[in-house]
Structure 1
């Protein structure tokens, strides 16, 4: 029949060929439809006009950012200069009070007087505790004796050493005494103390001349850290000492201080980073002459344009140089750009809408109706009549399609009868398969109910001394994970844990029945206070059960387990695990009690030991099967992993166990994404209620999440 039909088409070839040629030509020319073209033309016009607007707007925005960059650099320099001077001013005032003490002047005038010496060192101890560096020094001018005490040394009233004008390391003292300056602040590395300090030196004069010098030191690195602890991105700060030497650099959130023990007279110069050293030198000189005013200028800096601010600290003879990248630092809120973008997009939408409506009414809609009619014919709806009343090419094409449809309909009806018979046969076979599937599903549902019946949900709810939350999510309808609980009364305690059997689905569920029976018998045999003994007894019973069956040698019966005993005194818990760890955290610290290296019933018997952990209010304990840690997800499809799991425990430790389990499940689902669940997952989070912190039974709730049947959530 089909071959005769093909032959009948060839007989009418001369009559159908004009319409067929027209249809084929129209199809080949529609790589881009008329609707798409009607969108592209106004869109391209809009883009052409948008280019100069964006160019002008970007340059205007750069000028605005440069202006804000100058103001930001100036304020940043003023703020951090003040933050550095404030502790120095405090230390300087304290050192001056130390030098102005009557007992200081009296003792330096007569250092051999033991009574004055005792009074002076008693007063000095109080000043040492107030100095930032926890130290002080005294120099007697006539004898050149140097006294020094700090919090790390044993207090001494004897001189540590004697200064010498010929020793270069002692030159600081003689230079200041020769200069006649009353105070001086200097940064220096002390080989004796092996530290860099900001030394506050105060000269002490008597009626007949200089008596000596007193002072203390600030920790240089700590001073820098407190002054630049909020270094933003896009800002580089340089602290310059005398002669323009670099003392410290703060950039990209990192602070690097110059190692003065390796460099003479301060650090290196700043010329390597500055493309115009002469301009920077002018700014340094101008800042010194202005007496505290901030100098700002735009300079080339490391090959790029930077807004540079320079402020001078006369107390230290230091400069603070700040180089701000106005395009990297957050200087300008750009939220006002969104309304402008929205207005441009709205204008484009209005133009496109007008053009599309006009084109669709005139051209696209008539062509679409013709296409829909042809599609209906191709789908076998031969009662659809084409619009053949038009006198143009579309009308000719419609009439040719209608004649073709009448010929195809006759052949289609014959084929439909054959298909109808074969469909009836397939329907019968499908019905039989559906019945078999229904029986299997009913069996699995029954198995799921039976497995859930062995879960101790209600027993855990009735335990008033326990706050807990549970995540139980089998990979299939039933699974190989269970959690266990035995309450031995308020005067004795309770035992709880997680068991992860090998496999999942029906085999895993059968293994959980064996595991539960072995657990109950082992607890009755050994007692609940010895989790390690329970695991050893379970291992022995499972091996004996499976070895008694000759067909079980090809089975992999091993299982991971973790058990926790909490006694009635609530002072500590006892844990033992077989390849299962116990995690305990308060949000700040994380304790991990590692389980044994061998699983239960795996090749050779393992050794299990009891571990104890003191119970502290606010700490949460968590047991988890490996299905949680091994769940694939993320960008690269790797497992969830212990590091991410431990970070998750620390993040949510402040919540109650029920809220923690909900947060854990949310973290796992977001990490998992569209990936399939890889294994059964069981997680038990609990907080043993300590003394008067016990809640009522209603607060001890748990969420049991069943991953296979979301419509029936389990709670207990």
Structure 2
């Protein structure tokens, strides 16, 4: 053993205050400081605990109320919608005085009445403006309560329902005729042409609704339901509720009136806006309402256009009182001091002394002295540590030399590999760029620009530097041929397939006239099959070719289309259509049969040949494909624009829809249009 650590210190005072005493003093001092700090911050900790518990309670109450509201109103709303869709009801409202229609509906309405939770329903007719009401006292024949009048404020709910785009209006109102106060669910009835026939629905007793949805206030938790403008729809205290909201220009009883501070009102509006935008979340904040700060949680019920607001008063039940905190703190302080003292003494004996010995050995290793005598014979972890240190010191130099040699060798090897990879990458990049130049050489851009008698645009976007799509244009004395080709694969394999498809199509154009697209497809299919071995088609290697050809005969003002797994789309004046091609592609496992479709050439109509790369492009909020319906909607909106403006719009629409999604496949769109002067 080496000499004790205390012998290296000469001064008697420093010897008394060595590492051992300093460690004990540090532990005791830190304990005292922690105790003082704990006393200082205890007040703030209590406030944070109260706030967190209050916010959690408000959030939980808002969430539960949201679920109860959806469960309570959702079933009644579904039954009301089903009643509004009844063919028997529509027949009666269309011919209200027909006794057969009336009797049939009253019989069906009685079944609905029994299904509603309130055992009641109502019907308001648009033709006669009569209000029919059926409950256990007026069944099975509903009672005629009154005639709806537009100028009557109490009838505003009816006209508000008709004005809603979705035909749904929910209001809280007291019907004086039948002496009921309900949460009314109003659903518009439409005929087959979408014209309003009236309004039907049911009512949920306000007392039952408040009891089932809001429950009773306890622990200073107040839950209410408001609309998006802040009007109080439901509250445990009916005097705070806004009745007959549709008949008022401005709500008087709003949730904002509960907060005196404009900052609190603006913060509450922000919570309501956020909850309406994200109905799956509950948003919370601490606001100063009326006289005390309250924890507020807001959740949305989007199907009903409601917001659930729950507020908690944290002063109602203090979690920890100052007296309790003082007792707990005192006990914790005594225990902490005892543990600190015992820990310091034990730490000195078991850890500090061996560490002092190990520290001196480390300093010797730092000077390059690796051969050290054994430090300890203890059989615990520190003994194992010191013995491991002894072995480590003897091996450090050998390992260091060995590692330096290995690093040098590996560095040279990696540099050589990096150089080879760089050369390979450069060669591949140059080859692909050259292939792209060759592929672009087969595109008929110059022929289109110089010879096309109509307007056109081409959107050609390979997924990689080269791709599996290309387009075709030929012209003769009779007219011109437009075509789009989509070969299986993309990148280099797709580009190779385009060379085969282009060569086969060139042979077909040489052997047959361009005014027979179906014949060209059949001839191209035959040539492609002769160029590719049959074993490749039978194997799981994609070698099929989708192709669409359109010949526009200017002398007869007709167009002839034939497609192999490609369709011809058109749009004009807000209308659109599709000329489908045959289902089987070229060079498929089985030969296909292709037919011509001849139609009159409509001047001003824009025709589109589109590969599936555009329709399959993923994007949007959910990553779905662009799809035919979205492209058809774009055509109906933009087909009458100039072709260059259409191209710019399509590119902008596609890029906006794609967002951060990568391009999935090659995209090609060839559009053309002939005006009356062509």
Give the TM-score normalised by the residue count of structure 2. 0.47
